[in-house]
Homo-oligomer: A and B are copies of this chain.
Amino acid sequence: MEELILASGSPRRARLLSQIGIPFRVVVSGEPEDTKKTQPADIVRELSAQKAGHVAAGIRDGVVLGADTVVAQDGSVLGKPADRADAKAMLMRLSGAWHSVFTGVTIIAKKDGEARVSTFACETRVKVHELEEREIEDYLDTGDPFDKAGSYGIQGPFAAYVDEIRGDYNNVVGLPAAAVYQELKRLGVIGKDTI
């Protein structure tokens, strides 16, 4: 397959693409994203489209992938925490309850300057055990929450507190790897069975 351009600086998304054997290089536009949408699936679709679009604007040929992740609970959208108090408040909200993680993905395949665009959002439901205040403080002390939507990473020490998920695990990490693979296959970016 041709090399993919990952329009995201997230080391977790890069690791997931590597895990499923998709070659890529990272190009981050540096341009800001912004949305007026209010529904989590709409927000992540639009922000992923902006991330991919900014990078795709600069190329004539190639496949660009953008992604954006938020956490949603009871109508509120939780992004990355502003500070420790914000992270603590988010973790207290997640304690003992279900929430959803939404990742939006946009794939732009350009050939001779013409673009085909595919955008989708993927939801995973996550149930968190009841958290004791000491557990929250210990987790904040690890520094793990501060660069992550919803103030936790499922692939780190917070795994001790995740009771159950429904959906794609890697979507919670930041990229729905299986859905990305299947979509790249559907778009013909990854080869079809030739047997």
A167 with B164: CB separation less than 8 A: yes
Select which of B129, B154, B178 is within 8 A of A159 by beta carbon: B178
Classify the interface of chain A: helix, strand, loop or mixed. Answer: mixed
A19 interface contact, C-beta 8 A: yes
Whether the pair A160, B20 counts as a contact (CB closer than 8 A) is yes
Interface positions of A from 155 to 195, Cβ below 8 Å from B: 155-157, 159-170, 177-178, 181-182, 192-195
Copies in the complex: 2
Asked if A160 and B178 sit within 8 Å, CB to CB, the answer is: yes
| B residues less than 8 Å from A160 (CB atoms) | 20-21, 177-178, 181-182
Interface residue A133 (Cβ < 8 Å from any Cβ of B)? yes
- Among A154, A160, A195: residue with most chain B CB under 10 A: A160
- Which residues 101-147 in A have Cβ within 8 Å of B in the complex? 129, 132-135
- Using Cβ atoms and an 8 Å threshold, which residues of chain B touch A78? none
A14 at the interface (CB under 8 A from B): no
State whether A170 touches B159 (Cβ < 8 A): yes
How many Å from the CB of A143 to the closest CB on chain B?
13
Among residues of B, the one whose C-beta sits closest to the C-beta of A131 is: B193
- Is residue A16 contacting chain B, with contact meaning CB distance below 8 A? yes
* Contact yes or no, A162 B157, CB < 8 A: no
Question: Once the chains bind, are A157 and B19 in contact (CB under 8 Å)?
Answer: yes
Contact residues in B for A192 (Cβ distance below 8 Å): 132
Known: A21-B157, A135-B193. A129 touches B162 (CB 8 A): no
How distant is the Cα of A164 from the Cα of B20 in the complex, in angstroms?
16
Give the shortest distance, in Å, between A34 (CB) and chain B (any CB): 32
* Smallest CB separation, A127 vs chain B (Å): 10
